[in-house]
Every structure is written in C-alpha cells, then in structure tokens.
Amino acid sequence: MTQMAILNARILDPASSTDETGGLIVADGVIVDFGPHIKSAPDGAEAIDANGLCLAPGLVDLRVKTGEPGEEHRETLASASRAAVAGGVTSMVVMPDTNPVIDDVAVVEFITRRAADTALNRIYPAGALTNGLEGSAMAEIGLMQESGAVFFTNGDQALADASTMRRAMTYAASRDAVVASRPAELSLSGGMMNSGAFAARMGLSGLPADAEWIALARDLTLAETTGCALIVDLISTGRSLEMVSQARQRGARVGVTAAAYSFFFNELDVGDYLTYCKVQPPFRSEDERQALIAGLKSGEIDAVVSAHDPQPPEAKRVPYAEAAFGAAGLETTLAAMLALFHDGRLSLLEALKPLTSGPADLIDLPQGRLAAGAPADFMLFDPGAPWLCQREDLRSRSTNSPFDGRRLEGLVMQTWVGGKSVFKR
Amino acid sequence: MSPTADTYRFDHEHLLEIDGLHRLDIEFLLNLADDYAEATRRGDRPHESLKNKTVVNLFFENSTRTMSSFEIAAKRLGADVINMPVAHSSVKKGETLIDTAMTLNAMKPDVLVIRHSASGGVKLLSRKVDCAVINAGDGQHEHPTQGLLDVLTIRRAKSRIEGLKVLICGDILHSRVARSTTLALHLLGAEVHLCGPRTLLPNHAEDWGAAATHTDFDAALPGCDVVMMLRLQLERMDGAYLPSRREYFRYYGLTADRLALANDDAIVMHPGPMNRGIEIESAIADGERSVITEQVEMGVAVREAVLHTLAGASS
C-alpha cells in the first residue's frame, strides 16, 4: 500500500464547506482521511509539508476541445493534459467536435484509450448528440454511454431542428443520459462579437444576446417536457439565469455552466481587434459580467469551465473578422476565478465550488471533492502568487489566450491525479 | 355464458375499431373464429355461408399479407372476391377518396375491406357506402382483425385471457396493431404492458387500457405470459426516432437471454413481417415458444368470422 500525507495545508473543500488548517492522507490513489487532526504522516508514508499552501480538489472542467483525433497540430490529448495539470485541472471532458466526430463507440473508446496511454489527467469524452454533429440523425446515445461518454452534445454546431432536439432529449431521458446544449439560435449566430455600440463602432457584425435567449427558451422547454437532464453550456447573460431559474421552479433538471473568461473580460477587451478575444459566446457588456458574477455568488451557475479551444497561429493571425473563434483556457481558469476572490466578490470556497464539486455533481463524478474514498485528485496552490501570463510560457500546443500579457494572481504549485504527482512548479 | 351465433346478436354494421366493441362482441367473434379454425384444420370446406356475396378488398396501402388473408377467408366462405390494390391506380389519377368509394358502392358489393394510410380514412368511407366495411388498418389508428387474431392466438395457447400479463414491445407510437390488440386484451381482462424507447411510446397509453409503459425491456419481462414484438419500420430507425438498428437490438431485441426473464411458458408473438436481428432473434422467432405462424392461421379464421358476421348482418 503506497501512502502519502500532505501536512500543514489550508484545506479547502467546497463540497463539505471545509476551510481549515490540517492534513490529508492518501493510500492507493484514494483519499483516506483529512482534517485538522492530521498533523503527522502515518508510519511508512511519504510526508509532504505544504507550508500553509492551499490544498483543494483538482478542477473538473466540463468543456475542453483538443485537436485529437484529426487536428493534432492544434492540440493533442497529451498536450492538453500537460496544460491542464499546470492549471490544476485533474478531470476534463473533451467535446465531440473532432475529426472524426465522437459519434460512435469506436471513437469513444479511442479517446478513452489514448487518454489512458498519453494524458496526465482524467479525460472523459462527450458524445455527439447527432451523427457527425449534422443535426439530423440521433447518435448512438445508449451505446456510447455504456462505453464511457459522460454527456451528449452537438458541441458548437447549433442544433437548429427542434424536433430532432426533442426526440434526442426524449431518448436520452429514457437512458438516463445527460444532454448538454450551448444555447445559440443558428440564424442569429453569424456575428463576430457582442452586439452593441462597441461592435457598431468597430464595424463588426454582432452576436446578439437574443440568440442565446431564443435557443435557451427552446432547450429549457424541452428539458421540462421530456424530463431530460440538461446542461446549459456556456451562458453569457443575466437574463439566461432568470430563465433557468424559472425552468427549475417548474421542475426541469437543469445545470448551468459559464466560461471563466466571461467573468474576467467584457466586450471592451476586444479592444484593437484582438483575435484572441474572439470567442463564442462573446465577451458581453460589463452589466452582463456583473450579472454572471452575481449568479456565481447565488449558486445559480453550477460550473465554470475553461472552454479551452486551441487555435493555431494561422487561424488567429488574420484580420479579426476572418479569425477563428476560440481561446485557450486550461491554465488560466483558476486565476480568473481567484481574481473574483481578490476583488472581494467571492470567498475562496465560493470561487472553487463551480470548478470542483459543482461540475462533478452535474455528471455524477466522485472526484471534485476531498472525501474519504474519493479519488486522490487535488492540488496545492498559492492563491496570492502573482504572475504574468505570457503566451510563450503556456504549455498548450496552441497559445491563443486572451489572458496573454495580463497580470494574474494565483498559481498551482503541485497537482496530483489518483495520488500520483503529475505536475510540480 | 360464452356467446355463440345461437345466443348472441352482433349488433354492428361495420368493424372499424376495437374501441367501442363490447366484451361479448369480441368473445362472439372469437368463438366463431375458433369454430372456423377447427373446421379448416379438419378439412371441412368449402363453406357456403357467403355464397353469392361480393367482397371487395380496397387497399389504398400495399399489403400482400393482410389482403391475401382476407381473400382466402372470403373464398373459403364461398364469396366472390375482387382485389383492388388502389395504391397504384385511380387514386394516382387524381380521384378523391370519396369518389373512389362512391364508384365502388355503385357496384353494390356486400363487404368492403379497406386499408388506408390515414387514421380515420376507413371510417370516413364507411359513412359514404351502403355495405359493411371492415377496417384492414387505418394509419396509426386501428387494425381490429389483427387485434382479434392476436387475442384468439393467445386464448388458444393459454386457454384464457383474464389475468394474463402481456408485454408488447416496439414502436407502440406508430402501431395500429398495438392499439387494437391492447384494447381487445384489456376488454377481456388481461394486464397489458407496453415497452419501447421513449421516442416510440405514446403519451396517455393508459387511456386505451395499458397497465403501464416501460422503457426498460429487461425490467418489464419478469412475470410475462406473452411477449409480443412489433415490427420496427425501417424509416423510424437510423436516427429519426432511434440512434441505430444495433442500439435498438441491444436494448429492445428479443433474445434467448431476454426471453428467459419472462415466465417459463411465455409465448412469443409478432404480427409480421419480422426484421430478424433487429426486433427479434431468429432462434426465438423460429423457436418452440413462437406462435407467429399460428397468428397467421388465426388471421384467416378471424377474418372468416368477421366476414360471415357482417355480410350476414347487412343482407
């Protein structure tokens, strides 16, 4: 039995609302015990002195894109996992928008096998909701779920047909499968940045918030009528939270995620046509950013995701209007959330919950918490450590980060997955 | 008292649906069909009960099996039979449904056997003609002779209907067979359970007498005396209502392992034509617990009984 103890740490566990100084004991990849009573390592166990650093569950990231299979020059599962563990992300869900699309058992098994062979953290595939993400024929939801797909989504390909969505959700509900949908009405999704005065001045076509509300109204209605568990993927406005809240009151099973960048940036950050800031959903107005922070505080937003979407230079070193959407995010998610702590908007536990137990609970993962019997996936971090985010220092194969050049606070010092140290700064 | 021709008057001009029939109506038809089935098995034919009667098979939707079954039944009773597969004829030339019916009515048939792709289509025609009409399947509504033949097959195999647990699995939503069979079994006291993927289950199935609907086939099978598999229409597969044929077979295909979950003496039924390897494994379809060919045999007997009853009633 391999044992390890981490001592003298500030233990932060959002799931149990724990914030106290103490230790944690791991045996065979599983957390055995933790708390203030642990002051020394058991006999034969490796002891690590945390020197007062924060010890928290590793991040569970529900929305990561890589380029594997198909576009390995953007990112592989291995390169994404290196970036992930440096950002404290110990579990992540990869989206099905790959080539080939994750729409059958063979690709699900490929991802699972490649992840086990090459990645440093735990990787879970999300299955395509429709074959080829084409939005017409339902994919093999049941068989992919049996093979390990954790939820089903059309990714960034908006599913325009309500009838297809209704049948897919009806079918998924009867197999106890979770459906995730990024609300975006297709016919209103041709723009470049948040619709508004700034976009007008820049001469860029807008992505109106209406597109989010229209699609969300459909998805919430279907969640209610079909009984399907729905993850509303990447909301960007306060009104969306009001809509979700109403649907929940009517009994719909709905989880909500938002991208870490949505709490940090507003539309003005697009500034001088910065293509790294070209994302979907776009950076919204400052009012919307504030509304989203309020949604975190109230607990209405269950999970914050990196929305990691690696894009190579050739997709970003072009005029803004021609650039690809997407931002690398795995290494900056924690710091983006800690910024809300440093601004006095959230406590540390409030900032960590939507990164750990919040997302884990949406897909019934046992990790994302410090608990006896839970996988030993955790990190030591220094919440106040200042650092300058520089593109060339990022570990992702693509470094299209909107945080490039930003001064941030909060660094992961060491990360463990299954009790094994996978990253040390 | 079991109703027979001597003791019971079947008081319906047409047979359009099981819905609205009395329990005694069904028992009467089953008893008569049983007699015909036995007579055929003994080789007692031809009968003359429909001699000089004209039966027209008016099929707006192609069906070799059902049309042949009605044709054989009518001929065994001595009737003159005209088959009109109109799916490819006058309707294509632009004649309206009612015009076609009026034309046929003018030829004074005694019985019209009608299949139509629209729910309610047969009932509409029945109001426009003077003869007896038998619904041979209308859209997704009803297929009453199929319901009767299913019940007769079960009654002969199990010697009763009352108290049996019957599980019907497949595309319930689009199935006229499921509706008619469920209604008939429920009238006679069986406990009918419906099973399928949620996308192929109707809402409010309890309104037509189903005890419960299920999406987990394995969980629904224990205690079943009868397992009836429905045909999965090819156009429903491949993504529209279901992900794929293999996923369907995985969760809803009747295999030997699944059948073992039902009662040891459970019988297996299928209205045909079967998709082997999709809704039913070949070994089960051909196995000793399968009564699928008996269903076909009872189909002729039930149609003899219905033709006899209605042709007599209208004359």
Which tens digit of pLDDT belongs to each residue from A176-205?
999 999 999 999 999 999 999 999 999 999
pLDDT in tens, chain A (425 residues): 679 999 999 999 999 999 999 999 999 999 999 999 999 999 989 999 999 999 999 999 999 999 999 999 999 999 999 999 999 999 999 999 999 999 999 999 999 999 999 999 999 999 999 999 999 999 999 999 999 999 999 999 989 999 999 999 999 999 999 999 999 999 999 999 999 999 999 999 999 999 999 999 999 999 999 999 999 999 999 999 999 999 999 999 999 999 999 999 999 999 999 999 999 999 999 999 999 999 999 999 999 999 999 999 999 999 999 999 999 999 999 999 999 999 999 999 999 999 999 999 999 999 999 999 999 999 999 999 999 999 999 999 999 999 999 999 999 999 999 999 999 99
Give the pLDDT score at B90. Answer: 55
Helix axes B144-158 and B23-42, enclosed angle (nearest 10): 70
Name the residue type at position B239.
Answer: G
CA nearest to A128 within chain B: B243
B121 CB contacts (<8 Å, ≥6 apart)? Answer: B60, B97, B114, B138, B139
- Interchain pair A138, B239: CB under 8 A: yes
Residue pair B152/B33 in contact (Cβ under 8 Å)? The answer is yes
Q: How far apart are CA A339 and CA A335, in angstroms?
A: 6
- How many Å lie between the alpha carbon of B178 and the closest alpha carbon of chain A? 20
CA nearest to A130 within chain B: B239
Phi, psi dihedrals of residue A92, rounded to the nearest 5°: -150, 150
Instruction: Mutate one of B174, B195, B236, B242 to test the A interface: name it (highest A CB count within 10 A).
Output: B242
Residue pair B10/B309 in contact (Cβ under 8 Å)? The answer is yes
B149 CB contacts (<8 Å, ≥6 apart)? Answer: B33, B295, B298, B299, B301, B302
Name the residue type at position A247.
Answer: A
Give the pLDDT score at B46. Answer: 66
End-to-end CA distance of chain A: 27
- Interchain pair B246, A171: CB under 8 A: no
Confidence of residue B103 (pLDDT cuts 50, 70, 90): confident
Give the pLDDT score at B89. Answer: 61
Give the pLDDT score at B102. Answer: 85
End-to-end CA distance of chain B: 27
When CB atoms are compared, the residue of A140, A170, A173 closest to B243 is A140
- How many Å lie between the alpha carbon of B140 and the closest alpha carbon of chain A? 19
Strand partners, B82: B56
Q: How far apart are CA B68 and CA B157, in angstroms?
A: 24
pTM of the model: 0.91
Q: Is the peptide bond before A100 cis (omega within 30 degrees of 0)?
A: yes
Q: Which residues of B touch A (CB under 8 A)?
A: 197-199, 215, 238-244, 246-247, 250-251
Strands B80-85 and B111-116 turn out to be: unpaired
- Interchain pair B197, A136: CB under 8 A: no
Name the residue type at position B149.
Answer: L
- Interchain pair B243, A141: CB under 8 A: yes
- The residue among B195, B198, B167 whose CA lies nearest residue B262 is B167
Instruction: Mutate one of B195, B198, B252 to test the A interface: name it (highest A CB count within 10 A).
Output: B198
Q: Which chain A residues touch B238 with a CB distance below 8 Å?
A: 137
Q: Which residues of A touch B (CB under 8 A)?
A: 130-131, 136-143, 167, 170-171, 173-175, 226
Q: How far apart are CA A98 and CA B63, in angstroms?
A: 45
Q: Which chain A residues touch B251 with a CB distance below 8 Å?
A: 142
- How many Å lie between the alpha carbon of B199 and the closest alpha carbon of chain A? 6
CA nearest to A140 within chain B: B243
Which run of H or of E encompasses B296?
A: helix B292-314
When CB atoms are compared, the residue of B197, B238, B246 closest to A174 is B197
- How many Å lie between the alpha carbon of A421 and the closest alpha carbon of chain B? 40
- How many Å lie between the alpha carbon of B252 and the closest alpha carbon of chain A? 12
A338 CB contacts (<8 Å, ≥6 apart)? Answer: A351, A383, A408, A409, A410
Give the pLDDT score at B48. Answer: 83
For chain B, the average pLDDT equals 91
- Interchain pair B246, A142: CB under 8 A: no
Interface confidence, given as ipTM, is 0.84
Give the pLDDT score at B314. Answer: 41
Q: How far apart are CA B38 and CA A256, in angstroms?
A: 66
pLDDT in tens, B278-289: 899 999 999 999
Phi, psi dihedrals of residue A355, rounded to the nearest 5°: -100, -10
Strand partners, A152: A127, A179
A25 CB contacts (<8 Å, ≥6 apart)? Answer: A3, A4, A5, A31, A32, A33, A34, A38, A41, A42, A45
- How many Å lie between the alpha carbon of A231 and the closest alpha carbon of chain B? 20
SS3 assignment for B32-65: HHHHHHHHHHHCCCCCCCCCCCEEEEEECCCCHH
B223 pLDDT above the threshold of 80? yes
Name the residue type at position A264.
Answer: F
- How many Å lie between the alpha carbon of B203 and the closest alpha carbon of chain A? 11
Strands A420-424 and A407-417 turn out to be: antiparallel
Name the residue type at position A157.
Answer: Q
- Interchain pair A174, B246: CB under 8 A: no
pLDDT in tens, B293-304: 999 999 999 999
Residue pair B272/B295 in contact (Cβ under 8 Å)? The answer is yes
Give the pLDDT score at A395. Answer: 96
B87 pLDDT above the threshold of 80? no
CA nearest to A105 within chain B: B247
Strand partners, A421: A416
H helices of A250-374, in order, are: 261-264, 286-298, 313-316, 333-342, 348-352, 357-362
Residue pair A224/A250 in contact (Cβ under 8 Å)? The answer is yes
When CB atoms are compared, the residue of A143, A173, A174 closest to B247 is A143
- Interchain pair A140, B244: CB under 8 A: yes
- Interchain pair B198, A140: CB under 8 A: no
Instruction: Name the token pair of A241.
Output: 């939270």
Q: Which chain B residues touch A170 with a CB distance below 8 Å?
A: 198-199
Give the pLDDT score at B4. Answer: 83
- How many Å lie between the alpha carbon of A247 and the closest alpha carbon of chain B? 22
When CB atoms are compared, the residue of B198, B240, B244 closest to A170 is B198
Give the pLDDT score at A262. Answer: 98
CA nearest to A172 within chain B: B198
